[in-house]
């Protein structure tokens, strides 16, 4: 894409009311726009990142047999009453609204109850189990405070998967597969090295739930990490008994601030009992389906990547989720430079290498470099009178201090071999 | 995909409260689920159709330079006050809700105002114009009645594109391009032959707006069609003066019921004046951007396809938006049949031909045939003892009465040549 045609522009100043680094950098880069506190729009560059994150998640969910659907955001009171989750006293982040005839509706905080209700129409026999269903769907949460940029917002897309099994044994088999899929997702998104499987409160139905926590000073949680074993304990369940039961020792656990980028937990039959989602067993008996719930917020993941992979100049996108792989810069008004840069652009496009081409005229080199650092594409490729003198282009990774001039043929090799 | 693993099942009975054909067939086929009146979820088969429709639209919007974004559904009162569109007296389909601190919010009915406001941060000069921005985004409309299945709902994804130009001349250039893109979309989605460019009320700022109306008895609009010229007039502006001004004659115009599957209209400077979206002209003057708005509801398009392309047995999906190109049926419990069907399935998957494989055991042939007709994939391929006797598979298009037995090699040719 040609940058001259991109309607967004970078900004030098962060908005004064943004305190989080992720929102500051993403707004300055034109990735997102703040609509109000805790509510953001995704602009072309930001949406590209979101879609890449969603696709990584989708691939991993499909690989474990997840079937994709999309449920509605509007929800009925009757759906949430059987589990006592309708009243604001029980769930204090509802946004509620009304039909013309005064019927109260809620905006989806989550979907356990509606999905359980919907599946009553399809689940009959033990032969139908196990299966899992997921969606990328907008959740609305009436948060009192919203100061973490896109990491905690009042409206956001969430990938929520729900699993349905015959019994706990069948459930745990899927649960372990999904846990591994989550490990894959965070690794592929570039934050695997900072993300720990974390034991957290299991609620009523299992000893623990599992969170995936990424270490960052921007996090709202406290976790205790055993670096060698690659696992952690959330402060909420951090005590001698738990430490011992996990075979850990206090000495090897280090306190860190972290953000929860994913969570998986066993629901057991809480929803299937309440909403009567049953199946016929081999023996012909009626039994409630055994459920699990598995969430990831793509925007929180995106915000976390910005928090942990950025420097004082801007964002450093991992290749897997960068809006473009290459940021091609044409410097100066020299006719030969412009011609050569256009040729490089056409060639990259032809080779299906995603490239943002800074073809803007009348913009100083320093400003183009600053924009490239702020926007954070993995490769910066510069065409200038200087690079042409050496018969090539200057290529530099966002993570490198200095670039080097290589031929255009070599550039294609560099960009196609590494993926 | 193997049908034995699909969590949805077909139903013989339509829900008693559904009066529209599209909802009836789509619910019976397990494409969608009714959450409440006017609110539907999209299940695996239905979501596949929606995504294909969205991708056709996306390709056509990208081809005319549209830049994709996603704005929020939560909207502020202040955004809609300058154009007098906040009060329920002016816009009577708002869903409204509240933040914890009692601040009123609205759920997006549309996005003209928020997008105009957002662009104030990016538009400076005439050099930035023209450009266009679009999204696939959820709209909420508090309709009093909702009886047309997925053709008119209270919550739905809409593709809305907004164009920004220097002046009316530049605007009209884009407007014509978008009109053609819309023609392409309906053609590609399989309803081009029933869809007419229709002159409708232009509101305050232009003589006409343009609707794309598809002829169907399920439609809520009345249009007058000139079949030869391929255009129509909406009843709301149907009078002698308009007929004459369009160079049409009453004799050649035929009254039809139709559904509006798309609309494009000139907004002029209504929003840019009210919300101060200006740019600097060549002469250094400040001028309001000239705007247009262009909508398509993918779900309404999907519902319309079902209304107009179905028979008494079920849906007849056009290949371009079918969930799968092929419905492969394995009949009976014969070991050779099962083996052969599995081989065909593997081969189609390997060749990237989208196939739903009815591998279910214990289901009678008649039921499998009925399901195939209801679900409506373009090609039905049957492996049975009878087809094996003739050393092949029976292939039949959904639109054909009778199939024919061809070899497996020939099947691949048939399925890969025609697209």
Region B41-55: mean pLDDT is 98
pLDDT confidence band for B202 (50 / 70 / 90) = confident
Under 8 Å between Cβ of B244 and B209: no
Residues in chain A closer than 8 A to B50 (CB atoms): 70
pLDDT confidence band for A419 (50 / 70 / 90) = very low
Cα distances (Å, whole numbers) of residue B265 to B152, B179, B211, B262: 20, 10, 8, 10
> Any idea what DSSP says for residue B289?
P
Residue whose structure tokens are 């229709």 = B198
Tell me the domain boundaries of chain B. Answer: 3-311, 326-417
Read off the pLDDT of residues A229-250 as tens digits, 9 standing for 90 and up.
999 999 999 999 999 999 999 9
The pLDDT of residue A205 is 66
Residues in chain B closer than 8 A to A99 (CB atoms): 142, 154
The pLDDT of residue B14 is 77
The pLDDT of residue B106 is 98
The pLDDT of residue B145 is 86
Read off the pLDDT of residues A383-398 as tens digits, 9 standing for 90 and up.
999 999 999 999 999 9
Distance between CA atoms of residues B320 and B326, nearest Å:
12
Distance between CA atoms of residues B359 and B88, nearest Å:
53
Region A261-282: mean pLDDT is 97
Decide if A71 and B35 are in contact by the 8 Å CB cutoff.
yes
The pLDDT of residue A136 is 98
User: Which of residues 64 through 93 in chain A touch B, CB cutoff 8 A?
Assistant: 65, 67-76
User: Which of residues 88 through 117 in chain A touch B, CB cutoff 8 A?
Assistant: 95-100, 105, 107, 114
Region A360-386: mean pLDDT is 97
- First-to-last alpha carbon distance for chain A, in angstroms, is 20
Distance between CA atoms of residues B272 and B55, nearest Å:
30
The pLDDT of residue B204 is 67
pLDDT above 80 (res B50): yes
Decide if A44 and B36 are in contact by the 8 Å CB cutoff.
no
pLDDT above 70 (res B89): yes
pLDDT above 90 (res B417): no
pTM of the model: 0.97
Measure the CA angle with vertex A312, ends A308 and A314; round to 5°.
Answer: 70
Rg of chain B over all Cα atoms, to the nearest angstrom: 25
Region A127-154: mean pLDDT is 96
Q: Does A388 touch chain B (CB under 8 A)?
A: no
Distance between CA atoms of residues A380 and A376, nearest Å:
9
pLDDT above 60 (res A401): yes
Taking Cα atoms as reference points, which of A139, A112, A133, A127 lies closest to residue A275? A112
Under 8 Å between Cβ of A257 and A221: yes
Read off the pLDDT of residues B144-187 as tens digits, 9 standing for 90 and up.
988 899 999 999 999 999 999 999 999 999 999 999 999 999 99
Read off the pLDDT of residues B327-357 as tens digits, 9 standing for 90 and up.
999 999 999 999 999 999 999 999 999 999 9
- How many C-beta atoms surround the C-beta of residue A88 within 10 A? 11
Rg of chain A over all Cα atoms, to the nearest angstrom: 25
The pLDDT of residue B419 is 45
Measure the CA angle with vertex B144, ends B138 and B149; round to 5°.
Answer: 60
Region A141-156: mean pLDDT is 94
Please, which residues bridge with residue B136 across strands?
A: B159
Pairs of residues, one from chain A and one from chain B, whose beta carbons lie less than 8 Å apart: 124
The pLDDT of residue A204 is 67
The pLDDT of residue B24 is 96
Residue A322, min C-alpha distance to chain B (Å): 16
Mean pLDDT for chain B?
96
- Structure token digits, residue A127: 């032969």
- First-to-last alpha carbon distance for chain B, in angstroms, is 20
pLDDT above 50 (res A328): yes
The reply to whether A3-311 and A326-417 are identical in fold is no
The pLDDT of residue B205 is 66
The pLDDT of residue A18 is 86
- How many C-beta atoms surround the C-beta of residue B396 within 10 A? 17
Distance between CA atoms of residues A54 and A45, nearest Å:
14
Read off the pLDDT of residues A343-363 as tens digits, 9 standing for 90 and up.
999 999 999 999 999 999 999
**Does domain B326-417 bear CATH number 3.40.50.800?**
yes
Q: Does B125 touch chain A (CB under 8 A)?
A: no
CA atoms within 13 A on the CB side of B152: 16
pLDDT confidence band for B391 (50 / 70 / 90) = very high
**From the candidates A18, A97, A101, which should be mutated to test the interface with B, based on the most B CB atoms within 10 A?**
A97
Percent over 70 (pLDDT), chain B: 99
Q: Does B55 touch chain A (CB under 8 A)?
A: no
Mean pLDDT for chain A?
96
The pLDDT of residue A14 is 77
Cis peptide before A130 (omega within 30 of 0): yes
Decide if A100 and B144 are in contact by the 8 Å CB cutoff.
yes
pLDDT above 90 (res B207): no
CA atoms within 13 A on the CB side of B341: 31
CATH number for region A3-311:
3.30.930.10
């Amino acid at each position: 894409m040609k940058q001259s045609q991109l309607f967004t522009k970078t900004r030098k100043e962060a908005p004064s009311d943004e305190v989080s680094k992720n929102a500051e950098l993403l707004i300055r880069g034109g990735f997102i726009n703040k609509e109000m506190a805790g509510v953001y729009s995704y602009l072309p560059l930001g949406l590209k990142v979101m879609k890449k994150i969603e696709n990584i998640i989708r691939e991993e969910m499909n690989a474990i047999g997840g079937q994709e659907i999309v449920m509605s955001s509007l929800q009925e009171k009757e759906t949430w009453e059987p589990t006592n989750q309708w009243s604001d006293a029980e769930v204090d982040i509802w946004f509620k609204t009304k039909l013309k005839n005064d019927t109260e509706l809620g905006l989806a905080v989550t979907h356990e109850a509606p999905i359980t209700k919907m599946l009553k129409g399809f689940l009959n026999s033990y032969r139908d189990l196990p299966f899992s269903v997921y969606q990328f769907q907008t959740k609305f949460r009436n948060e009192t405070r919203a100061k973490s940029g896109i990491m905690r917002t009042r409206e956001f897309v969430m990938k929520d998967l729900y699993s349905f099994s015959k019994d706990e044994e069948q459930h745990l088999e899927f649960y372990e597969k999904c846990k591994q899929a989550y490990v894959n997702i965070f690794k592929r998104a570039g934050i695997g090295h900072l993300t720990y499987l974390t034991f957290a409160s299991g609620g009523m139905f299992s000893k623990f739930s599992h969170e995936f926590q990424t270490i960052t000073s921007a996090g709202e949680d406290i976790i205790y990490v055993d670096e060698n074993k690659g696992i952690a304990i959330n402060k909420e369940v951090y005590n001698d008994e738990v430490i011992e039961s996990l075979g850990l020792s206090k000495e090897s656990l280090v306190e860190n601030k972290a953000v929860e980028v994913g969570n998986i937990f066993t629901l057991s039959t809480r929803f299937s009992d309440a909403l009567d989602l049953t199946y016929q067993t081999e023996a012909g008996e009626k039994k409630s389906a055994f459920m699990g719930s598995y969430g990831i917020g793509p925007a929180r993941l995106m915000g976390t990547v910005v928090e942990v992979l950025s420097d004082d100049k801007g964002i450093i996108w991992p290749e897997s989720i960068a809006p473009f792989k290459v940021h091609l810069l044409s410097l100066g008004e020299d006719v030969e430079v412009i011609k050569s840069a256009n040729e490089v652009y056409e060639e990259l496009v032809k080779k299906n290498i995603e490239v943002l081409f800074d073809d803007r005229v009348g913009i100083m080199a320093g400003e183009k470099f600053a924009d490239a650092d702020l926007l954070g594409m993995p490769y910066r490729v510069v065409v200038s009178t200087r690079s042409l003198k050496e018969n090539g282009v200057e290529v530099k990774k966002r993570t490198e201090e200095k670039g080097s001039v290589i031929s255009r043929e070599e550039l294609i090799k560099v960009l196609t071999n590494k993926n």
